[in-house]
Chains A and B, each alone.
Chain A
Amino acid sequence: MAQPENATSAAQSGPYDWIGSSVPKVDALDKALGITQYVGDMQMPGMLHARIRWSGVPHAIIRGIDTSEAVKVPGVRAVLTAGDIPGINRYGLAVQDQRVLADDKVRTAADPVALVAADTEQAAEEAITKIKLDLEPLRPILSIEDALDPTAPSIHESGNLFTRTTVRKGDLDQGVKESDVIVEETYRTHLMDHMAMETESSLAYMDPTGVLTIITSTQYPYRDRRQIAPALNLSMNKVRVVQAPIGGGFGRKDDITSEIHAGLLALKTQRPVRLVYTRRDSLIANTKRHPMLMKFRTGARSDGRLTFVDADIYGDTGAYLSLGAFVIKKAGIHACGPYDVPNIRVDTHTLYTNNLSSGAMRGFGVLQAAVAHESQMDQLAHRLGISPIDIRLINTLKPGLATGTGQVMDEGCGIEATVLRIKEYMESHDLRFTRS
């Protein structure tokens, strides 16, 4: 990896001297000076501005889209719907369940149904409000319980349960028998937006050799290209994706956001097209943190030792999978937390709903699981009359012990030292846990 030129002096002597020294980011001064060019800062001659019309309803059959008034708005250069897509109207990070523009059905209120490119943002904005949608509402699936209902309509072709994963260890019945106390609770976490300070944005243009070039705020240009090219019916070498400086991602810019839409408009108009999501667009349309419903049963002996974890984790991935199955599977893998649990049964269930889609977000499912396993620990501590810190110390993974999925810890396992530091700090500052 290239080393920054302006690093601190510690850098000069050996290859490992970087570790522990504070090294200024190579691009930080440009950012402080305000000269870094994010996508929204760029302009090109003849550039058009784009806007997206979102469906606004969660589940419906599309009977018609009337763009006749929108095209009359002065300055409008293109109004596109699904029929204008030259390639395959499907994409997705893990499975191709998303449409570039909705065709048969609307599956979430954040489905894009039409695109506008115009000379000004104002004209594009005005045009999208003039697009008329003729939608026939379908029963919406708006919760995990709805999605589990066998009579619920299927959002995609094959049912609303996308996948299940399991974690098994030891003998659950034995664990239950050995328990002096069992805590059984249900936890819910909510949908959450990454709220990166820069919204999703792309600038697309045809380069002089006929290569569609898309400068974009993305986490992953190659995976973007793999999804853009088939949708636009271009061979891979006719699409170039340039990763611009990115004003925060946190997982949300892993998925396709503005890239295919900007590319399609540039292809159709043969003009540079800049698509910068408004904050509202960003809140509506991008992946979120998965809401989860977590049913946990956890046992312990009177000395505080955990005996078993028995859990079902249901994740609402919304209308599209994104990386949902992996996020929710990971919640299951982490369901026992950093603790030594001898007997485990954990199932995860990835469910489609008509809610906004969730995907990658900092922590990737681990945080939701922590809400459940740490709440269980607190409850067990309370029931057993052990301090919340001590019950954790009794059960933390230590070198030689294995996680729920069988990974044996070695000397890099720091949880016990971390909890001990907290304990020391609390004692030296006379801090106590209180429980109302």
Chain B
Amino acid sequence: MEHYSLKINGHVYETGAEPFESLLDVLREKLRLTGSKKGCDEGECGSCTVLLDGKPVLSCILMVSDVRDREVLTVEGLPQGGEPHPIQVEMTERGGIQCGYCTPGIIMSAYALLQENPRPSEDEIRFAIAGNICRCTGYSKIVEALQAAAGTPIR
């Protein structure tokens, strides 16, 4: 067991962990940040997506020892001043959420996109969430919600 101090959502978290434990397991089981979901645990589904130094990564296939001295952002870190992020609001109001299990991962992929490209086209949105599997919605409502969050016209 090693000691880690991790920068997550602007706070420093201290925890013990084995170096080979995944960032996802440490977030969920040790730090109790359970917003990031485990759909496959092998880098296929995107439900564990978090941002590492601003880039979307799959936290289930990232070892905790790899994130020392780096900035992690999870879905819990998006609201500002107690207000949900516009992506969270639009996903809620435009039917982008059914069972909700893919939702945090989708939101993090979308957030990373809008940081880089605030006015993405529909194709760019679809490409940005191509690594996030949603089994419920059929994606259309998600894309519409993300277009609304970006303030781009919806189809």
Contacts and interface: CB of A to CB of B under 8 A. Distances in A.
A198 B101 contact: yes
A36 B84 contact: no
Contacts, number: 104
A37 B91 CA distance: 18
User: Interface SS of chain B: helix, strand, loop or mixed?
Assistant: loop
Contacts of A342: none
Contacts of A31: 92, 97, 100, 103-104
Interface stretch (A147-155, A240-248, A256-264, A306-314): A240-248
Interface stretch (B39-47, B62-70, B115-123): B39-47
Interface string A364-379: 0000000000000000
Contact of B100 (A40, A247, A249): A247
Nearest to A25: B97
B39 A32 contact: no
Given A34-B34, A37-B34, A198-B39, A22 B95 contact: yes
Interface string B28-42: 110010111111111
Contact of B135 (A37, A248, A279): A248
B12 interface: no
Contact of A197 (B34, B84, B101): B101
A194 B136 CA distance: 10
B105 to A, nearest CB: 9
Interface string B87-120: 1110111110111111110010000000000000
B100 to A, nearest CB: 3
A22 B104 CA distance: 22
Interface residues of A, number: 32
Contacts of A245: 99-100
Interface residues of B, number: 41
B76 interface: yes
Contact of A32 (B32, B37, B88): B88
Nearest to B87: A32
B101 A34 contact: no
B100 A27 contact: yes
B75 interface: yes
Given A32-B88, A245-B100, A197 B37 contact: yes
B79 interface: yes
A253 B87 CA distance: 30
Contacts of B39: 197-199, 279
A196 B75 contact: no
A197 B99 contact: yes
Contacts of B75: 33-34
27 contacts: A22-B94, A28-B91, A28-B92, A28-B100, A29-B84, A30-B100, A31-B92, A31-B97, A31-B104, A32-B107, A33-B76, A33-B88, A34-B34, A34-B74, A34-B76, A34-B103, A35-B35, A197-B37, A197-B39, A197-B47, A197-B101, A198-B101, A247-B99, A247-B100, A248-B98, A250-B135, A279-B41
Interface of A: 22, 24-25, 27-38, 40-41, 43, 194-199, 245-250, 278-279
